[in-house]
């Protein structure tokens, strides 16, 4: 049951009085950047809605979760006016994710930023949300405003690097821009802690890994464009790179980064790259009386989206200890290991094995199909899963834009 987690989250909203929040701003969000990889959704609009039939939260726990979601929705404006001294936002985001309300959370961030301006504490969260959802143009527009107004903050340049990271694997120019941005973040704050106090050392590891595959002249050009003096790799960074050189690739949508290599997992897969990016830590909450598997998986998804490969692997394995057949946890481990090219054949077999299960929900079919399509180029497998999911759950198909995905897979 979510009682202990609920108390933790409700504490963050009880401290503020109710304030009306209408949800997401109206109008379509530019979808030209492509598919959303972080959340189990694909959308051309960010509207105030609940994703139909979320699978992660059991029915007997939904009332508690809904109370947290509704309470934060009412109190969000004053919550951000007050700040977040207790550090509740990571747990609040986890509940919105687990309950299928992630787009509602994006809408809350949009409204808070609209009313409080770029200086709002919600602004970096909104930028990260756009990166998670693959809304590249929205993210770029917002980041340009953040740079203009908050260019003296390390988090600004961290996010700017996260924006370029999905392109860094195939572009030396993009890789150089990541390096320049993250170097600038560390020059502003050598002890930069990111969103969830992840710490500067891992960011230096990631920079070292990127430098190894990026021409020096490209880095110097990108650094000069930011008006910074070229930075040299630190001894600490070099040491860290020797021990952890595995780069975690971003899914086409967000902020990920190079991280530690995962050992192959038999049935429940190893680690991988995720959409979305950035070395943002989802710190594990203390063990609370039998935390629901749904919440553990949500924490794993959050860690994965934030580039925390080791954390994500721990959460997914923890979920599998309690529910060995859990599809979301197994797929999470596959995503978390996909960056390791020598494991991809084995991981692809695992995905196909998952796809053959006869107990999959339509949402699970959608998620497995999305991975098969975007990472494995297994269009036929994706089509088979998506067409069946569409027949079984037309409402889900509409909410995630399944018709568009099916059309793309047929090309």
Residue 305's pLDDT is what?
A: 67
Q: How many CB atoms lie within 10 A of CB 157?
A: 28
CA distance 201 to 392: 47
Q: Is residue 367 part of a domain?
A: yes
Are 104 and 69 contacting, i.e. CB atoms less than 8 angstroms apart?
yes
Domain end marker among 182, 214, 245: 245
Q: Is residue 91 part of a domain?
A: no
Are 271 and 312 contacting, i.e. CB atoms less than 8 angstroms apart?
yes
The domain total for the chain is 2
Closest by CA position to 314, among listed 297, 328, 339: 297
Q: 166 lies in which domain range?
A: 151-245
Residue 170's pLDDT is what?
A: 80
The secondary structure of 327-344 as a DSSP string is HHHHHHHHHTTTT-GGGH
Tens digits of residue pLDDT in 53-78: 344 556 666 667 777 788 888 888 88
CA distance 5 to 400: 29
User: What are the per-10-residue average pLDDT scores of the chain (411 residues)?
Assistant: 40 30 32 30 30 49 73 86 74 77 88 94 91 86 95 92 85 91 89 66 78 89 74 42 36 35 36 37 42 76 75 90 91 90 94 95 91 92 94 84 88 84
Q: Is residue 274 part of a domain?
A: no
Domain end marker among 245, 263, 290: 245
Q: Is residue 393 part of a domain?
A: yes
Residue 198's pLDDT is what?
A: 55
Tens digits of residue pLDDT in 11-42: 333 332 222 223 333 333 333 332 222 332 22
Q: Is residue 205 part of a domain?
A: yes
Tens digits of residue pLDDT in 143-158: 999 999 999 999 999 9
DSSP letter assigned to residue 293: H
Q: Is residue 241 part of a domain?
A: yes
Is the whole-model pTM more than 0.75? Answer: no
Buried b (16+ CB within 10 A) or exposed e, 293-314: bbbbbbbbbbbbbbbbbbbbbb
Q: Is residue 28 part of a domain?
A: no
CA–centroid distance for 406 within its chain: 24
> Which whole-number Å values give the CA distances from 333 to 35, 43, 262, 315, 320, in the listed order?
20, 24, 10, 10, 10
Closest by CA position to 274, among listed 315, 243, 224: 315
Q: Is residue 188 part of a domain?
A: yes
Q: Which residue has the tokens 């790259």?
A: 273
CA distance 162 to 206: 12
The secondary structure of 380-394 as a DSSP string is HHHHHHHHHHHHH-H
Domain end marker among 213, 245, 277: 245
């Amino acid at each position: 049951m979510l009682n202990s987690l609920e108390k933790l989250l409700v504490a963050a909203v009880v401290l503020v009085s109710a304030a009306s929040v209408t949800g997401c701003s109206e109008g379509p969000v530019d979808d030209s950047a492509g598919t959303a990889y972080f959340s189990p959704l694909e959308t051309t609009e960010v509207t105030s809605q609940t994703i139909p039939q979320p699978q992660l939260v059991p029915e007997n726990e939904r009332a508690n979760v809904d109370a947290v979601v509704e309470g934060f929705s009412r109190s969000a404006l004053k919550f951000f006016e007050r700040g977040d001294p207790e550090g509740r936002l990571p747990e609040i985001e986890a509940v919105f994710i687990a309950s299928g309300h992630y787009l509602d959370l994006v809408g809350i961030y949009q409204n808070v930023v609209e009313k409080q301006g770029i200086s709002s504490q919600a602004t970096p969260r909104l930028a990260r949300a756009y990166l998670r959802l693959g809304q590249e143009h929205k993210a770029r527009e917002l980041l340009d405003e953040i740079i203009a107004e908050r260019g003296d903050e390390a988090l600004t340049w961290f996010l700017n690097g996260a924006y370029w990271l999905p392109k860094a694997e195939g572009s030396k120019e993009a890789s150089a821009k990541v390096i320049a941005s993250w170097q600038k973040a560390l020059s502003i704050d050598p002890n930069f802690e990111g969103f969830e106090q992840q710490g500067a050392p891992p960011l230096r590891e990631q920079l070292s890994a990127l430098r190894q595959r990026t021409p020096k002249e490209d880095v110097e050009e990108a650094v000069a464009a930011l008006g910074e003096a070229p930075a040299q790799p630190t001894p600490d960074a070099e040491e860290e790179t020797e021990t952890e050189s595995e780069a975690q690739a971003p899914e086409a949508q967000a902020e990920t980064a190079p991280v530690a290599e995962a050992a192959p997992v038999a049935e429940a897969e190893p680690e991988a790259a995720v959409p979305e990016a950035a070395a943002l830590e989802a710190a594990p909450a203390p063990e609370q009386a039998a935390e629901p598997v749904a919440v553990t998986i949500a924490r794993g998804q959050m860690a994965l989206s934030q580039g925390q490969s080791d954390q994500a692997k721990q959460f997914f394995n923890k979920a599998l200890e309690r529910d060995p057949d859990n599809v979301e946890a197994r797929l999470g481990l596959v995503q978390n290991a996909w960056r390791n090219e020598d494991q991809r054949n084995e991981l692809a077999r695992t995905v196909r094995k998952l796809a053959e299960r006869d107990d999959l929900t339509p949402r699970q079919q959608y998620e497995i199909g999305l991975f098969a399509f975007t990472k494995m180029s297994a269009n036929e497998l994706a089509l088979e899963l998506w067409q069946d999911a569409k027949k079984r759950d037309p409402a889900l198909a509409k909410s995630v834009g399944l018709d568009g995905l099916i059309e793309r897979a047929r090309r």
